[in-house]
């Protein structure tokens, strides 16, 4: 039986740091679960990633901000494809917010 | 604002064929939404894919069968990492079952 699980298994308790778990990785990609409890990117911090990233909110809510001034409020099932070097930050998250993030390989 | 959407937007009506929509693709990977309404793989058919595939049930239910005799019942949030050439089939799906599938590139 291949490796399997549930996206909401074993959620870390509120109050802990944002939690990152790699669910799958191969030379092409990496799939990560992120659990947030009201976390946000530090003031003035922008992600500027060398690879494309695709994320979906599994449960909870979050607001992403983009360097062009746009904001995206995300609820369960909402996804966004963030191109490489598209500067963005996590403006806010709710409690028990679960993300699924798919990171493309840096050297496809 | 980057490309975005919701995994349960615009579900095709029951009775239609299984529906496949590519949500994102780059040289490393392809992300696809699959909507099933009671569909199953044809009798005796096995998927035998040259690339790794990672799938999660977003809503609904499904049963996967593997060539080693194993069965995996999947509900919302359940994921499985299917290695390349791991023979499998879709034994059954419920109505309005939404999958998210991440396909690794054939040439990472």
- Mark yes or no for CB contact B104/A68 under 8 Å: no
Q: Tens digits of per-residue pLDDT, B36-78?
A: 999 999 999 999 999 999 999 999 999 999 999 999 999 999 9
- Closest chain B residue to A82, measured at CA: B2
Instruction: Give yes or no for residue A76 having a pLDDT over 50.
Output: yes
- A83 neighbourhood in chain B, CB within 8 Å: 2
- Mark yes or no for CB contact B102/A29 under 8 Å: yes
- Domain of residue A94, residue span: 43-99
Q: How far is CA A56 from CA A60, A75, B12, in A?
A: 11, 9, 21
- Mark yes or no for CB contact B79/A7 under 8 Å: yes
User: CATH number for the domain including B62?
Assistant: 2.60.120.10
- B1 neighbourhood in chain A, CB within 8 Å: 66, 68, 70, 72
- Closest chain A residue to B22, measured at CA: A81
Q: Are the beta carbons of A88 and A66 closer than 8 angstroms?
A: yes
Q: Tens digits of per-residue pLDDT, A14-70?
A: 877 889 999 999 999 999 999 999 999 999 999 999 999 999 999 999 999 999 999
Q: Are the beta carbons of A12 and A97 closer than 8 angstroms?
A: no
pTM here? Answer: 0.94
Q: Is residue B84 part of a domain?
A: yes
ipTM: 0.93
Please give the tally of structural domains in chain A: 1
Q: Is residue A11 part of a domain?
A: no
Q: Is residue A70 part of a domain?
A: yes
Hey, of A53, A60, A79, which one would you mutate to test binding to chain B, going by the most B CBs within 10 A of its CB? Answer: A79
Beta carbons within 10 angstroms of residue B28's beta carbon? 23
């Amino acid at each position: 039986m291949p490796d399997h699980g549930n996206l909401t298994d074993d959620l870390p308790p509120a109050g802990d740091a944002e939690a990152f778990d790699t669910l799958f990785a191969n030379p092409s990609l990496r799939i990560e679960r992120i659990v947030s409890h009201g976390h946000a990117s530090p003031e003035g911090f922008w992600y500027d990633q060398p690879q494309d990233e695709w994320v979906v909110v599994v449960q909870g809510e979050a607001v992403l901000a983009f360097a062009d001034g746009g904001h995206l409020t995300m609820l369960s099932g909402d996804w966004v494809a963030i191109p490489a070097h598209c500067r963005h930050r996590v403006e806010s998250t709710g409690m028990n917010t679960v993300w699924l993030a798919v990171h493309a390989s840096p050297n496809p």
